[in-house]
Amino acid sequence: MTPVLTYPRTTRGPVAAWRRFVAVLVKEFIQLRRDRVTLISMIFISLVQLLLFGYAINTDPKELRTAVLAQDESVFTRSFLAAMRTTGYFDIRERVASESELDDLILSGAVQFGVQIPSDFGRQLVRGERPALLVIADATDPSATVNAVGALEGIAARAFERDLIGPTAALASTPPPYEIRIHRRYNPVGDTHLNIVPGLMGTILSMTMLIFTALSVTREIERSTMESLLAMPIRPVEIMLGKIAPYVLVGAFQMVLILSAAWLLFDVPIVGSLALLLALTTLFVIANLAVGYTFSTVAENQLQAVQMSFFFFLPNILLSGFMFPFNGMPDWAQWIGETLPMTHYLRIVRGIMLKGADLSHLAIPVGALGLFTLVAMAVAVNRFRQTLD
Amino acid sequence: MRATLPSPAQPIKAAGAFAGDIAIEVSGLTKSFNGRTVVSDLSMEVRRGLIYGFLGPNGSGKTTTIRMLCGLLTPDAGRGTCLGYDILTQSDEIKRHVGYMTQRFSLYEDLSIRENLEFVARIHGLDDPRGAAGDALHRLGLENRAHQLAGELSGGWKQRVALGASILPGPQLLLLDEPTAGVDPKARRDFWDEIHRLAGEGLTVLVSTHYMDEAERCHEIAYIAYGRLLAEGTVSNVVAQSGLETWTVTGIALRQLAETLRGQPGVDMVAPFGSALHVAGRDPALLMRATEAARADERYSWRRDKPTLEDVFIDLMDRGRDNFG
């Protein structure tokens, strides 16, 4: 039997604080490694989200369902429809007989485009009266229709090249002998483009980081290990940093995964500095970890912690400019949006990846994100109860 | 670990307590939760190197008291020191020198035994956490199960490992909150052997328990009920101070006898003990009068006896209920 030994040790100062931090860090790492379900879900969630969103949210969709109301059965009508098909954007599925039928199809979402060719379109065209063709676009999702509309304008000039021969050949010159009136329904101002995949970085990182740290303190309380941890000589800030640090690495791993997929699968460019992007993404990861940890100190059980995370996650998705164009939101929504880390991160990530912005351009969002992180950490450390009172 | 039966430990005789000789000294400790007083005006003193038993029914305030001693709860009133450090202001220091084993299993079940021990060693800033964990494993006799997850251990081993973890940083005082609840008798005995060995090495141990045999293994005990300290001292002192006159009755139809005697003036306690009945009262004269008829009954044989510790506690609890309950 060996007697109780007194080992050489350091109990005060930065070395001791570092050792305590490492103690928690190592423990959290082992627990994370052993918790296969969590680990796999972290990698899996990010991949599935990326693939689902990335492919489902196609920024350049083709073969959009189209209905035609042809009130003029001239050669020009056939040529125009043929030209629409060749762009690849339009899948002409229906021929309708009245305007109200056309309206119904668009309203119900059965088609995204309606083309109305007025009754004496061919005759007016030949007479050089520049008749109007009406194209109705369902613009509820602007990114879904914007390219198709662009393609329409492209075909305007060339559609009738072969039909306008002989005496009407003069009409084939620019400007085109007719006019396409595009009527964007439901959302007249179309914005957003290419934003989706960079925005997904924010969404995926935010969700996984939030939830997994939100559980970290409540889990210790539920498993009754907290009492013992509190009875040991360790400070709240050391516990927090030790618990957050492993997830910074997990976040870095997810970040590399998403960026590779964005580049390989979706051809999203990184115009700006990759190093800057990585550094600022890490800041965003820490901001979310700090929020998750704060929830963890407030929630009474793991279920509550998850609920709080979702409560925070939703406005981050809805009001940050990820889901809807930020400038299209009402003022009050923009004010809320400005307080969310995701809003600033989206500006950073879009700025760097798409526009090639550098740090000097991003001073405001970076400052906001940094401030947010500090405040969240301060709240977390303050909220952390060092006693069981 | 050897499974030898330790000799009943002798209290360390302290001639004139001086400050360095006292491990715990508190007075007037009071704590209430949501208006319900859990610990009320509790004062106690524990000398260094002693095993101090903390007894009392469930909800009597034992855990709350222990938590106040190690800085996990702030008392509403009262003051005190633990290892010379103020429990109100120096809980950081107390945490460095006190090992606390909680009532519920406090190790990380998804960490191996070795990883748990290394975690504790690192928290305490040890220079060589791996070495210290290795020593603790050796001490526990668990070298070949070092990589087993703590959650997979049996109840008895869990408690042994938890004890090993709390003594690893070399504390001067151990607070054990019902460490042997739900543990089988052999494992309980081994556990107590270890506690006695630690006390022999100079550690002070405060241990709460429900088991009477464990209480009798303590150098000193305190009985607490309804948040109040009702009796304190060595086991023989506590028994002697109780002033209980106890009779052991054997014979047939003891159940009937118990029914007849219970509640009679002068009969403070009637409790069956195996094939015998314990009858006790604080006033010998009253007790004799109340049992006169029964003692004359030929079916029973009456023998005057020393009260057991359990008799004393049950009596203390009843009296406590009358006064504070």
Q: What is the pLDDT of residue B309?
A: 87
Q: What is the pLDDT of residue B210?
A: 86
Residue A108 contacts B where some CB pair is shorter than 8 Å: no
- Which residues on B lie below 8 Å from A6 (Cβ)? 170
Query: Average pLDDT of chain B?
Result: 87
Which residue among A20, A227, A389 places its CB closest to the CB of B106?
A227
User: Is the model more confident about A199 or about B28?
Assistant: B28
Distance (Å) of CA A333 to CA A316, A367, A376, B318: 11, 21, 21, 65
Residue B213 contacts A where some CB pair is shorter than 8 Å: no
Half-sphere exposure of B174 (CA within 13 A, CB side): 33
Q: What is the pLDDT of residue A193?
A: 40
Least confident span in B16-25, B51-60, B225-234, B238-247: B16-25
Domain CATH code at residue A78: 3.40.1710.10
Residue B147 contacts A where some CB pair is shorter than 8 Å: no
Q: What CA–CA distance (Å, rounded) separates A20 from A239?
A: 8
Same domain? A136 vs A253: no
Same domain? A288 vs A363: yes
Q: What is the pLDDT of residue B110?
A: 93
CATH topology of domain B19-110+149-238: Rossmann fold (3.40.50)
Residue B196 contacts A where some CB pair is shorter than 8 Å: no
Closest chain B residue by Cα to residue A229 = B106
Nearest Cα to B161, choosing from B134, B186, B142?
Answer: B142
Same domain? A228 vs A294: yes
Q: Is residue A145 part of a domain?
A: yes
Looking at residues B303-307, what average pLDDT do you find?
89
Looking at residues B88-116, what average pLDDT do you find?
93
* Position B267 pLDDT exceeds 70: yes
Residue range(s) of every CATH 3.30.70.330 domain in chain B: 244-306
Least confident span in A299-313, A360-374, B17-31, B274-288: B17-31
Residue B24 contacts A where some CB pair is shorter than 8 Å: no
Question: With the C-alpha atoms ordered A225, A231, A232, A236, is the resulting torsion angle positive or negative?
Answer: positive
Residue A1 contacts B where some CB pair is shorter than 8 Å: yes
Which residue among B1, B170, B198 places its CB closest to the CB of A5?
B170
Residue B207 contacts A where some CB pair is shorter than 8 Å: no
- Spans of chain A below 70 pLDDT: 1-5, 52-61, 107-109, 139-144, 156-176, 184-195, 325, 327-328
- Which residues on A lie below 8 Å from B135 (Cβ)? 2, 5
Q: What is the pLDDT of residue A285?
A: 93
Same domain? A50 vs A70: no
Residue range(s) of every CATH 3.40.50.300 domain in chain B: 19-110+149-238
Residue A224 contacts B where some CB pair is shorter than 8 Å: yes
Same domain? A161 vs A218: no
Closest chain A residue by Cα to residue B170 = A6
DSSP state of A131: -
- Which residues on B lie below 8 Å from A11 (Cβ)? 96, 124-125
Domain that holds residue A354: 16-56+194-383
Cβ burial, residue B305 (10 Å; 0-12/13-18/19+): middle
Q: Is residue A5 part of a domain?
A: no
Size of chain B in residues: 325
Same domain? A108 vs A214: no
Same domain? A85 vs A170: yes
Residue B96 contacts A where some CB pair is shorter than 8 Å: yes
Which residue among A31, A227, A388 places its CB closest to the CB of B108?
A31
> Which of the listed residues A159, A185, A211 is the one where a domain comes to its end?
A185
Residue A196 one-letter amino acid: I
Instruction: Mark yes or no for CB contact A27/B111 under 8 Å.
Output: yes
- Which residues on A lie below 8 Å from B39 (Cβ)? none
Instruction: Mark yes or no for CB contact A16/B92 under 8 Å.
Output: no
Q: What is the pLDDT of residue A172?
A: 55
Q: Which CATH architecture has domain B244-306?
A: 2-Layer Sandwich (3.30)
DSSP string, B11-79: PPP-SS--GGGEEEEEEEEEEEETTEEEEEEEEEEEETT-EEEEE--TTSSHHHHHHHHTTSS--SEEE
- Looking at the structure of chain A, the number of domains it has is 2
Output the six-digit token pair for A80: 């125009």
Nearest Cα to B231, choosing from B247, B244, B220?
Answer: B220
Q: Is residue A10 part of a domain?
A: no
ipTM over 0.85: no
Q: Of A70-84, B155-169, B270-284, where does the model show the most confidence?
A: B155-169
Q: What CA–CA distance (Å, rounded) separates A298 from A310?
A: 15
Which residue among A7, A11, A223 places its CB closest to the CB of B128?
A7
Residue B286 contacts A where some CB pair is shorter than 8 Å: no
Q: What is the pLDDT of residue B125?
A: 93
Q: What CA–CA distance (Å, rounded) separates B61 from B53?
A: 14
Same domain? A204 vs A223: yes
Q: Is residue A9 part of a domain?
A: no
Q: What is the pLDDT of residue B6?
A: 39
Output the six-digit token pair for B73: 């709860």
Which residue among A31, A228, A388 places its CB closest to the CB of B106?
A228
Looking at residues B152-180, what average pLDDT do you find?
93
Same domain? A70 vs A89: yes
Neighbours of A236 (CB within 10 A): 17
Q: Is residue A110 part of a domain?
A: yes
Same domain? A351 vs A303: yes
Q: What is the pLDDT of residue A190?
A: 41
Residue-wise pLDDT tens digits, B181-230: 888 999 999 999 999 999 999 899 999 998 888 999 999 999 998 888 98
Q: Which of residues 110-129 of B touch A (CB under 8 A)?
A: 110-111, 115, 118-129
Residue A225 contacts B where some CB pair is shorter than 8 Å: yes
